[in-house]
């Protein structure tokens, strides 16, 4: 397997980009576990690091389960997106959209 080298001009999904895909979702007010049902096409890239971007950063937070079973959740970082490790179980990570419909873009990263 060839190594990928990040290039300034390499767009998401192209050879040389650290991002394997640009997955875009329009979501309304909700609390969404990171599962295939909620984010179609994402699970094939997990477990791994993803960059989460949002059209309305103030309305979106990412939360992690503190018990490893999807029970208690705490917010990770500030509002908006960022780089997150998602394990792919569907239990430990969720995205919370507080007000209105927004676009969520998830960019899985290659290693």
Q: What pLDDT, on a 0 to 100 scale, did the predictor assign at position 9?
A: 60
Using one digit for the tens of pLDDT, what is the confidence trace for 31-84? Answer: 999 999 999 999 999 999 999 999 888 899 999 998 877 789 999 988 988 999
Residue 83, domain member (yes or no):
yes
**Rounded to the nearest 10 degrees, how much is the dihedral formed by the CA atoms of 70, 88, 77, 13?**
-160
Locate 77 and state its tokens: 């970082």
Residue 22, domain member (yes or no):
no
Residue 7, domain member (yes or no):
no
Neighbours of 22 (CB within 10 A): 15
Structural domain tally of the chain? 1
Q: What pLDDT, on a 0 to 100 scale, did the predictor assign at position 10?
A: 61
Residue 40, domain member (yes or no):
yes
Domain that holds residue 94: 35-108
Using one digit for the tens of pLDDT, what is the confidence trace for 89-105? Answer: 888 999 999 989 999 99
| Global model pTM greater than 0.85 | no
Locate 76 and state its tokens: 């990770």
Using one digit for the tens of pLDDT, what is the confidence trace for 12-29? Answer: 666 666 778 899 999 999
Contact 93, 34 (CB under 8 A): yes
Contact 47, 54 (CB under 8 A): no
Q: Tell me the HSE value of 39 on the side-chain side, using a 13 A CA sphere.
A: 28
For the cut 80, the answer to whether the pLDDT of residue 8 exceeds it is no
């Amino acid at each position: 397997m060839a190594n990928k080298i990040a290039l300034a001009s390499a767009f998401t999904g192209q050879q040389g980009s650290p991002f394997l895909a640009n997955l875009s979702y329009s979501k309304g007010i909700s609390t969404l576990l990171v599962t295939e049902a909620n984010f179609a096409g994402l699970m094939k890239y997990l477990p791994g690091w993803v960059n989460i971007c949002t059209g309305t950063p103030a309305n979106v937070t990412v939360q992690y389960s503190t018990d490893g079973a999807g029970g208690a959740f705490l917010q990770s970082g500030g509002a908006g997106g960022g780089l997150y490790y998602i394990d792919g179980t569907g239990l430990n990570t969720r995205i919370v959209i507080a007000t209105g419909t927004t676009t969520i873009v998830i960019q899985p990263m290659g290693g």
